[in-house]
């Protein structure tokens, strides 16, 4: 819990351990200097550009799958090892937890809110990419939850990528997983969203 609070922090207040001084970023520039603000805005722009790209890819792929593949036989891409097969998934990513659709919808919405809050102190390009992938993936599946049958906040997500001996998933799931892996790697390296590097 303490680690999460340290990463998210409070964007509008000075670091409690810094005696009111602003923390320098990884390049030695205080985050609040005039040169830091445009850089922060550029990182936010990257975040939303990555999110928009991931969301658009996911949305377009699902529209094509519903129109061309649903109610049709699967399409073999690499023999039996990889197929495209339209599946409606009421659970979480990769088909888990179908009895908790509304809960997963709320979690996706909460993730979007947290990312939006975290973006206010974003100065790291890798973090911008990672959070953009998470945001785009969360928005992609949340769109299905809201607008697809059987109803609002209970909609089934369209999955179609079906590897052999693995759960069927979609591009939004892939974006979420890639973003999550990148965040873990950045955390291990000690790089924070505000661009600072810490050593435990």
91 pLDDT above the threshold of 90: no
pLDDT tens column, 22-75: 444 444 444 444 455 677 889 999 999 999 999 999 999 999 999 999 999 999
- Taking only the tens place, the pLDDT of each residue in 141-176 is 999 989 998 888 778 899 999 999 988 999 999 999
Q: How confident is the model over 117-143, as pLDDT tens digits? A: 888 889 999 999 999 999 999 999 999
Instruction: Report the C-alpha gap between 100 and 82 in whole angstroms.
Output: 28
Residues 6+ apart with CB under 8 A from 127: 43, 183, 186, 191, 192, 193
Name the pTM for this structure: 0.76
Please pick, among 25, 58, 144, 173, the residue that the annotation labels catalytic: 173
What is the spatial distance between Cα 81 and Cα 64, in angstroms, rounded to a whole number? Answer: 22
Question: Annotated catalytic residue: which of 144, 159, 192, 194?
Answer: 159
The verdict on whether 159 is a catalytic residue reads yes
> pLDDT at position 78, please?
94
Burial class (CB in 10 A: 0-12, 13-18, 19+), 114: middle
Q: How many other CB atoms are found less than 10 A from the CB of residue 191?
A: 17
173 is catalytic: yes
């Amino acid at each position: 819990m303490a680690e999460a609070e340290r990463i998210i922090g409070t964007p509008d207040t000075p670091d409690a351990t810094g005696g009111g001084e602003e923390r320098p970023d990884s390049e030695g520039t205080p985050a609040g200097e005039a040169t830091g603000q445009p850089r922060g805005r550029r990182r936010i722009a990257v975040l939303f550009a990555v999110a928009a790209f991931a969301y658009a890819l996911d949305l377009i792929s699902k529209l094509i799958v519903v129109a061309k593949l649903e109610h049709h036989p699967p399409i073999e891409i690499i023999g039996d090892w990889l197929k495209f097969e339209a599946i409606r998934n009421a659970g979480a990513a990769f088909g888990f937890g179908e009895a908790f659709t509304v809960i997963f919808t709320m979690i996706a919405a909460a993730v979007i809110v947290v990312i939006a809050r975290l973006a206010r102190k974003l100065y790291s390009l890798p973090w911008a990419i990672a959070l953009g992938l998470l945001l785009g993936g969360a928005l992609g599946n949340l769109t299905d939850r809201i607008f697809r049958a059987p109803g609002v906040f209970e909609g089934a997500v369209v999955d179609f990528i079906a590897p052999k001996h693995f759960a069927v998933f979609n591009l939004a799931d892939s974006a979420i997983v890639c973003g999550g892996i990148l965040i873990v790697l950045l955390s291990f390296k000690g790089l924070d969203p505000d661009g600072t590097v810490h050593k435990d």
